[in-house]
Amino acid sequence: MKVRAVGAVAVGAVAVLALSGCGSDLGPDLHPGQAAVVGDHEISMSEVDSRADAYCTALLPGLAQSEIALPMSSIRDELVSVMVDENLARQYAEANDIDVSDVYEANLAQLDQQLNDPTSGVSEENRGAIRDFNRMVIYSSSVQSEVGGSLSRGQKKLPTDQELAKGKQEIETWAQANGVEVSVDPRFELSGDDSTALSFAVSDTTKLAEVARAEVGKAQPDPKKITAYTDTLPASQKCG
C-alpha cells in the first residue's frame, strides 16, 4: 500500500484511489455472500457495494474535472484491499498490545481539517465517504509503520514505503503463524500487470481491463489507458 500526502487524499480523485494497491492473498476457502473473511471477521459483499457506491459519488466531481471515468470494479478492488488491511492490522494490534491511537488520531484530525477546508473541493455531503476510506488507510498504515520499527509514538509523519512494506510483511507472517486466515473472493484479485502483450490468449477487452486496473494503482495514472477500458463498459459498471 502506498500512502500519499494526506492533502492529496482529499482532492484528487485518481490520486485518492491510488492510495491503495495492495491485494491480499486468496485464501483456500470462499464464503458465500462475503467479499473477504479476515480471521473471524467477515466483510460482506453488500458492505463493499454500499461503500463503493458512496465512494464513487464522492469521486464524481474530481472525475468530471479530469474528464475520466473509472471502472467500478477498480473501486471495489481498492475498498476490499483497504478493508482487509485495516481488519488484519486491528487484529494484530490487539493481539500484540500495540497502541497507535496518538498517531492515528493526529493524522485523522489533519484529514478532517483538510476535508473541511473550503478550498479542498470536497462537498459536505461527500466528506463522509472520503473520510471513511482514508480512515481505514490511516489506521492500517499507522500499525504497519509501528511494526516496521520507525514510528515514534505521537510523531506526526507519513511512513515510508519501506516501513509499510516491512510492517505489512510482519503482520502477514504473524497471521500465518497464528492461523488467522485471509480469504478474498477471486473477483477482487488485482492483476498488477501493465503489459498490453499478455502471455496467454485473451480478448481485447480483457487486455484493456488488465491495463486499466494496473494503471489505477499508480501514483500518476495514464487517463488514456483507463478510459480505453471504461469506454467499453455499460454505465452501470463505471464511475464517472
151 pLDDT exceeds 90? Answer: no
pLDDT attached to residue 32: 75
201 pLDDT exceeds 80? Answer: no
Which of residues 1 and 22 earns the better pLDDT score?
Answer: 22
136 pLDDT exceeds 90? Answer: yes
24 pLDDT exceeds 50? Answer: no
Band (pLDDT 50/70/90 cuts) for residue 99 is very high
User: Rounded CA gap, 158 and 91, in Å?
Assistant: 22
Select, from the ranges 42-56, 148-162, 223-237, the one with the highest average predicted confidence (pLDDT): 42-56
pLDDT attached to residue 25: 45
Question: What residue spans define the domains of the chain?
Answer: 6-239
Nearest 5°: phi and psi at 15? Answer: -65, -40
224 pLDDT exceeds 80? Answer: no
The DSSP H or E segment spanning 172 is helix 161-177
Pairing state between β 238-239 and 70-71: antiparallel
In this structure, what C-alpha cell is assigned to residue 42? 467477515
User: Rounded CA gap, 156 and 207, in Å?
Assistant: 42
Region 199-222: mean pLDDT is: 47
3-state secondary structure of 71: strand
Region 56-76: mean pLDDT is: 87
3-state secondary structure of 57: helix
